[in-house]
Each structure stands twice: as C-alpha cells, then as structure tokens.
Amino acid sequence: MWIDTHCHPFAKPFNKDRAEMIQRARDAGVDKMICVGFNPWANRETLKLLEKYDFMYGTLGVHPCDCDELTDEEIVWIREAALARLGRIVGIGETGLDYHHMSHSKEAQQEAFRKHIRLAKELNLVCIVHSRDAADDTLRILLEEKAEKVVFHCYSYGLEFAKQVWAEGFYTSFSGVVTYPQAADVQEAAKHAPADLILIETDCPYLAPQSIRGKRNEISGVVEVGEKVAELRAMQPQQLATQLSSNFQTCFMSS
C-alpha cells in the first residue's frame, strides 16, 4: 500500500468530485495520505477533511508565497488546533522559502519560516519545507534554528545538496517531477537517497506525473511516482512501498 505524504485534496479543482477522487486513490492502493495546509483557509479545510476520513492526516501552516497571512492570531490558532489533534496533525507547514515567485521579500519569508520551525520544535512535529531557488538559505535557517524533524517536500534540487540534507537526518520527498524525462538531477537524488530518509508525494492537484502531465493531478498519482522511484532504485514497487510505510511511521508518527 502506498502513502501520499503531501497532497491538497481541499483544493478547488476537486470541488466537483472530491469524494470520488479520494476513493479512486484508495482503490489504487493508497492507504494513507497527509493533507497539507498552506494558508488560513486551507488549514481549516484540512481539519474538515480529517473529521471525515480516518485514514487522512494533516499539517497546518502558511506557504512562503502567502507569508503575510501568518499573523500572530494564526500562529495561536495553529498551535491550539495542532495540540487538540496530536496524532492526526503530524506536521507544521508547508513553510519555507520561495525565491522563484518572490511574492514577498526574502526577509519576510525567512521570518515566517523561523516561526514555523520554532512551533514545530515546540510541538515535536515535523516541519514541512517548501524550498524553491533557495537551497542554501533554507538549510542555513534550519540549522540556525536547530530544526529537528524536517521533510523537504517536492525535492527539486540535485544530489550534492541532497547529501547535505541527509547528513542532518532530514527527509527528501519526491513528487511527480521525478517521473519527468528531463528531471535528471531529481532522479539522481531519488536513486541515491538513504533508504530510511525517502518519502513520496503528489502535491496534487499540482505536478501531475508524466503519464498525465498537464492535467489535474490526483492522490492516486502517487502510485506512478512510487513505481518510478522503485525503478530508479532497482527495487520491486512493493518492496519500496514497504520501506516508505516504515519511513512514514518513523517520520510522522514517532513521538
């Protein structure tokens, strides 16, 4: 059985068939999924889905492109919501740095990132990191803040930076990008990732895998991601799925 460690099933593209989309994922062999919040609205929608589906887990946070929405009130709300649902809320984020879109200044993004890291440490939860065109600053801030549990979601850098991430005991999670023929750097990282520090995800409705690239991604797409990573690592898919299930337990469910 597969686990999608980063998806957005509350997203508006699923408004017409959300329940059916989730059932398709279950039918395809997706056993668990982590619904990831990225702004105040998405955080509250995440909680609604957790009430409905007992196989779904959640994270709460504010994306760097929306970092102006990380108000003091939202931080208090995230803390209280997470504390009330420990065991179902398994992470803080997604947070991080996005120097590609630059919706907000580096300074504003970095300040919000630090607040997320501190909250994750306080609650002993995983920090879900979005990092785009900001590798060095992302890792520097994580180390300065002495981050403990970290997942680099939708890992998009190459092998050499990945080695720095793994050296800190941080996880790298691979999305549909790993299925793209031109994504050689990401594929190399997936091939060489330590067995105990690798995860997979969809980031749906974004980043559809190669077979449906350009279309809406679904949670069931994690199967294609897993099969590609297994191929890169010269493993049977079920062998990888077993390892990923163990990694999920260690990363997200261990106190």
Extents of the domains making up the chain: 2-247
Cβ neighbours of residue 38 under 8 Å, at least 6 residues apart? 8, 61, 62, 63, 66, 94
Radius of gyration of the chain (CA): 17
- Cα torsion angle, 142, 123, 48, 54, sign: positive
pLDDT of res. 189:
98
CA distances from 100 to 106, 131, 134 (A): 11, 9, 8
CB of 17 within 8 A of CB of 241? no
pLDDT of res. 134:
98
Which parts of the chain have pLDDT scores under 70?
A: 255
The pTM of this model reads 0.97
pLDDT of res. 255:
61
Q: Which CATH superfamily is domain 2-247 in?
A: Metal-dependent hydrolases (3.20.20.140)
- The residue among 254, 112, 120, 133 whose CA lies nearest residue 196 is 254
